[in-house]
Structures are given as structure tokens and as C-alpha cells.
Amino acid sequence: MIPVKSYVGKQVAVLGLGRSGLVAARALREGGATPICWDDNPAAREAAESEGFTCRDLLKQGAFEEVAVLIVSPGIPHLFPKPNPVIVAAQEAGVPVDNDIGLFFQSFATQDWDRFDTMPRVVAVTGSNGKSTTAALIHHILTEGGRDSQLAGNIGRGVLDIEPGGDGSVVVLELSSYQTDLARALTPDVAVFTNLSPDHLDRHGGMGGYFAAKRRLFAEGGPDRAVIGIDEPEGAYLAGQLAEGPRDDRVIRVSVARKLSGPGWQVFAKKGFLSEYRKGRQAGSVDLRRIRGLPGVHNHQNACSAYAACRALGLAPREIESAMQSFPGLPHRSQIIAEADGITYVNDSKATNVDSAAKALLAFGNIRWICGGLEKEGGLDALSGALGAVSKAYVIGREAAGFAMQLDVDSEVCTTMAAAVERAMVEAQEGDTVLLAPAAASFDQYDNFEQRGEDFTAEVLARL
């Protein structure tokens, strides 16, 4: 655990007692603070009280007297679409609001570092799509290379639940816009921006607010190296803001849309080949087509970002390539779950928005596509250019009929996962891919995308 020692002897309010909230309370207590906890869920409060924490309704009169700071879990809105009343009460009382990410960056460095030969470093990954795979791939490459690495944040363990930094160690963090938006301290050594597409717009008041939340990691974090995907205008803008000029190699530009040139530091992928150029000369290359755990252009973008981050940490190109070969991929993200009778079954339940689903659809051929769920803002028009390989769509979800009407491909309303899998498997032929890439949230039928992917996997395996 990372003890939070900046509030020794002070009361700290903790709002939200899920994984990150409870871990924050423990780290604060370990560092000498007195956490005052609250959650609207009685079961969450009971769990906290069983660990000896005091729970107090933070909306009661005088709740913030003697409180130094309010720590908020990432799922709790602080501005849009409407701030949580507890946050409003804290602001009216003049109490600062922070989250566990801010506490981590305040607390990670210690006096023990004075005796280290190599300072611990933090790599932070954000973006709309691919950040989990990118963060996991960086961690995998470091681990395979014998480096001391920990994976945390929005993936793996809570940021304050990891071990203190050791000599030469690296912490790899996946950070969502919810996490970067509120953290009062953001100081990564290497920061990665994968891409940007519309998501969580209600939480951020639109696309500008969403980008601003991501941008904070770079503008306020001041990383030594910034790895920036520049295939969207926002990424190109961010890279331009951070770089002092064309030769500034503190910014590593990444693309899967075009070959990059110039005197700076670039990593790009074209037709399945990753290339690294620095000062106008090629410095490394990787044949990504052979890496089974990274199929499709969207995963090639993840590979480029992870490669660039690892190069910024000093790893050699061949070392990175060797480690990539053994990367298994992540569950629910272009995950090959079975192959039988010449048919491949792929679980990409994490494709919860149109952009990520389109990338999955472009990664495979001869697709029997299982899609549908709780549709997000913006409709499905952006899928039109990604449907060329789709033989048929099998639509699930409570609004399956309406979803199917928007698709410009042959489709069948199945409603349930069981029915969709059964129909797709009956009609699939040798060389086909049965792909779950919903292009929608899961909450109309499932608790989360993981549960949806597990249901798909179970239905497939039960029929093989």
C-alpha cells in the first residue's frame, strides 16, 4: 500500500466506498489521517464500518467542520450533468475536492528514493479506446524484460493499493477521463494519449470538456515524455501544444493512418508494419501481423503507443518485439475465445461505442456480427464505412428492432445472446468470424460489459 502522509492528524472525508474509495480510506489511515466515510449504499457503509471506519452523512449540518479535503470516487459527478450534493457542500465550506489519483501522485515519492540508483517512474495512459490494452501491453513488455512493473488505476489494482516504488521500478496506470478530470496532482514521467472519440459526453458537458479532462494529464502533468496519437485533430493539437519545435523529441507522435516524417520522434504502423523514426532515420521496426494478441489496425495503434512508451523508458526495439509476441491480449477486447471447423469466435464486448466497434469490424473478415444493447448518443452512422466484411448482423438488446433498422446490412432481431449465438453458429461457414462487438452499452441486459462477454463466451463454448 502507498500510505498517504500529507494529512497526518487531520480529518479527510471520503465519498463513495467502492474499490477506489475503500482503498483511499485505508491509505489515508495508514498515513496518519482520520477518514470520515460516506456512501448512499448502506451495504457499502456497513463494509467500511466493519473495517473500523467512521461513517457520517456528509450532507448534515457541520459535516465538513475540521475536514481538510474531500476524496471522491471516480463515478461521482462533480460538475456535469449535475454535481453531487456532497461535493457542492464541500465547495461551499471551502473544502478542496480530490480523488485517489491525486493522492497517489502526492504520495508516491518518498525519502527512500534518495538511496536508489534509478528513480521509480510512472507511465500514465489515457484516451478513448485502447488504453487498457496499451497499459497492459506496456506492463507485459516491462515484465517480460525483467523490469519491476506494477499495473494499476482503471485496470488491475487501485493506485494506492500497490507496493511502494523500488529501485528502477515502473508503475503503469490506466486513467479514465473521470480520474484525470478531478485529480489535483498529475505528474507522470511518461504520458500516453491513444486517441479520442465521443464518449461520456454527458459527464463532461460535451466533446470540449471530455478532451479537456484528457488534456490535463499533459498540460498540468508536465511529463518528461508524451506519446500522442495524432490521427484525430485533438491529438494533433495536443502534440503541437507540447512540442517546442519540429526536433523536440519529448513528444513522440503516433499514427496508424499515415507515414510520419520529419526530424522529430515518430512511431507509425502501415499495412501491419510498425516503424520508428528519430531525427529522420529509422530506429526500429516490428512486423505486427505475426502478433496474434494484437489483431487489427486499432490494436496496431495500441502497439505503437506501447512501443513508444517503452522506448521512452529505454528498452531496445528487439526486446520490445520479443515481448509483444507473447502478449495474450485482454479479455473482452478482440479476444479469440475459440476456433472450430474453420470458424473463429471473437469476444469484443468492450466495444461499447460506435468507434471501438468499427475498429473491431475492420480487424476481421467474413463476419457474423453480434451487436446491440443500450445505444449511446450520436446514432450508428459512423459504422457505415466499417461494414464491408459483415455477412449478417444478429441484434441483441431490449431495443434490438430499432437498432437493427439503423444497420445497412442484412440483420436478424435475436434480442437475447443465446438466440444470437445460436443463429450465428448455425449460419457460419468455414472462414467466417463470429464477432461480438456490440457498439452499445450493456446495461439494458447486463451489469457490465464483462458480464456480457462472459455470457457470449459461455454460449459459444456450450455449443462447440
Q: Which residues are annotated as a binding site for ATP?
A: 127-133
Tell me the pairing of strands 225-229 and 190-193. parallel
Q: Find out whether 294 and 307 touch, Cβ atoms under 8 Å.
A: no
Closest by alpha carbon to 417, among 461, 364, 366, 353?
461
- Which among 445, 420, 418, 450 is positioned nearest to 435, based on CA atoms? 420
3-state secondary structure the chain: CCCCCCCCCCEEEEECCCHHHHHHHHHHHHCCCEEEEECCCHHHHHHHHHCCCEECCCCCCCCCCCEEEEEECCCCCCCCCCCCHHHHHHHHCCCCEECHHHHHHHHCCCHHHHHCCCCCEEEEEECCCCHHHHHHHHHHHHHHCCCCEEEEECCCECHHHCCCCCCCCEEEEECCHHHHHHCCCCCCCEEEECCCCCCCHHHHCCHHHHHHHHHHHHHCCCCCEEEEECCCHHHHHHHHHHCCCCCCCCEEEEECCCCCCCCCEEEEEECCEEEEEECCEEEEEEEHHHCCCCCHHHHHHHHHHHHHHHHHCCCCHHHHHHHHHCCCCCCCCCEEEEEECCEEEEECCCCCCHHHHHHHHCCCCCEEEEECCECCCCCCHHHHHHCCCEEEEEEECCCHHHHHHCCCCCEEEEECHHHHHHHHHHHCCCCCEEEECCCCECCCCCCCHHHHHHHHHHHHHHHC
CA nearest 144: which of 278, 293, 275?
293
Query: What is d(CA 169, CA 172) in angstroms, rounded to the nearest whole number?
Result: 10
Q: How many CB atoms lie within 10 A of CB 50?
A: 8
Binding-site residue numbers are: 127-133
CB-count burial class (<10 Å; 0-12, 13-18, 19+) for 406: middle
